[in-house]
Amino acid sequence: MRIFSILAALLVAALLAVLILDRPAVMAFFGSDTPEESIEADETPSTSAEAAEDLVQVLVTRSVARQIDTAVVLRGQTEAARTVDVRAETSAIVASEPLRKGRAVTAGEPMCMLEEGTRGTALAQSEAQLDEARARVPEAEARLTQAQSQLQEARINLNASSKLSEGGFASTTRLANTEAAVATAEAGVESARAGLQAAQSGIRGAQASVATAQKELERLVIRAPFDGLLESDTAELGALLQPGSLCATVIQLDPIKLVAFVPETEVARVSVGAPAVARLVSGTGALTGGADAASGQEVRGEVSFLSSSADEMTRTFRVEMQVPNPQGRIRDGQTAEILISAEGAEAHLLPQSALTLNDDGMLGVRTVDTEAIVDFHPVTLMRDTPEGVWLTGLPPEADVIVRGQEFVIAGVKVDPTYRELGQ
């Protein structure tokens, strides 16, 4: 029994040695494939599966460019067409009851009435001086006429004396006397003429005094310069106004201006006369417009002014548009979003989530070509809407990655899944 056990153990050990040292020969003897072939056969399908698993799966949508009307979007505010601080031009006490702020005034309507004081007396005195100056004129004219007559008579006598003296019928003394008479008459004419000019100057001086006194009386009534609204109460009854003291502030809201500042990168797209739309922000934060700030309508107008000079600090250009405001419900200083019409462009409407940044920090989207290779396209944001964003910078047709674009870079191959835009 012991010998049989030893022989069995030696036989098993020999078989194990053969299997370990010469396994290919043993497998061939029994008709089996070599281990290498089995391994290669097992590894071929697994390698293909692993390669497929290495591709990043992305969601792609096909986008086609469409023609849209572009607009320059600006943030601005409303501004009164006119704002004037109406001030006193003379010193006086206010003699009228004040008008309360918010009241409508028309051009020429009295707002502040001042006490007359002695201004009426000054006007009467100036008018009396004017009458007196006018009365001196006929007297001065008569003196001039008389002096001219005397001069004419003296010249006739001089002519006669000269001829008699040449014929020896008049003495030299008589000729000298007539010459002296002519000189005296000429001096009289000049004096009379000067008197007439003084009388006329007196008239002009008196007229200026009258005009000054009348103007002073006119300054006692401070009137509205144009149709508008009182932004402040007028001066209180009994208040002393000095030259430059404020009577009231008047603003004009029809038409009203909308003012914004366009950056220098967009100023070339804005022109005077271009149609514009403005959305006014109401007190509740909703977009409103029209004559009624709570109506929800937009106000429309056109660009009336574009500055030719940039602001030194912001490098922006002032742009204004005017819109009708007949009821004055659009107030001065309301915030407004202004859209100025510009030349149209072809753009793609894509979800905002499709936007991404490349390694250089440039905004764009990633696309795939027919071989599923990723590419990056810089884009420009044209308009933001509830349906998505309008972008330019893509070809007319593009397969855009809308999900998974953050996990791939340009040049790599991906496993795309296509869907319709909006699904």
Radius of gyration (C-alpha) of the chain in whole angstroms: 53
CATH number of the structural domain 119-218: 1.10.287.620
Return residue ranges of the chain for CATH 2.40.420.20: 59-67+346-419
Long-range contacts, stretch 242-247, CB < 8 angstroms, 24+ apart: 242/88, 242/91, 243/87, 243/88, 243/89, 243/90, 243/91, 244/87, 244/88, 245/87, 245/88, 246/85, 246/86, 246/87, 246/88, 247/86, 247/87, 247/88, 247/111, 247/112, 247/222
Which CATH topology does 84-114+222-250 take?
Answer: OB fold (Dihydrolipoamide Acetyltransferase, E2P) (2.40.50)
Q: H helices of 64-221, where?
A: 119-167, 172-218
Residues of the chain with pLDDT under 50: 33-50, 283-296
pLDDT of residue 150: 79
CATH number of the structural domain 252-344: 2.40.30.170
pLDDT of residue 384: 79
pLDDT of residue 299: 87
Counting every residue written for the chain, the total comes to 423
As a whole number of angstroms, the distance between CA 394 and CA 363 comes to 12
Summarised one tens digit per residue, pLDDT across range 354-373 is: 999 988 889 999 999 989 99
As a whole number of angstroms, the distance between CA 72 and CA 337 comes to 10
Give the architecture-level CATH label for domain 59-67+346-419: Beta Barrel (2.40)
Return residue ranges of the chain for CATH 2.40.30.170: 252-344
Q: For the residues of 25-36, what is the DSSP string, one character each? A: HHHHHTTPPPHH
Cis peptide upstream of residue 255 (ω within 30 degrees of 0): yes
Q: Which residues does residue 339 pair with via DSSP β-bridges, in sequence order?
A: 73, 277
Return residue ranges of the chain for CATH 2.40.50.100: 84-114+222-250
As a whole number of angstroms, the distance between CA 108 and CA 115 comes to 19
Question: Could you tell me if 207 and 62 are in contact, meaning their C-beta atoms sit under 8 angstroms apart?
Answer: no
- List the helix and strand counts (H, then E) for the chain: 5, 25
pLDDT of residue 165: 65
pLDDT of residue 115: 94
> Does the model's pTM come out above 0.75?
no
Question: Could you tell me if 62 and 406 are in contact, meaning their C-beta atoms sit under 8 angstroms apart?
Answer: no
pLDDT of residue 170: 56
pLDDT of residue 385: 81
As a whole number of angstroms, the distance between CA 144 and CA 140 comes to 6
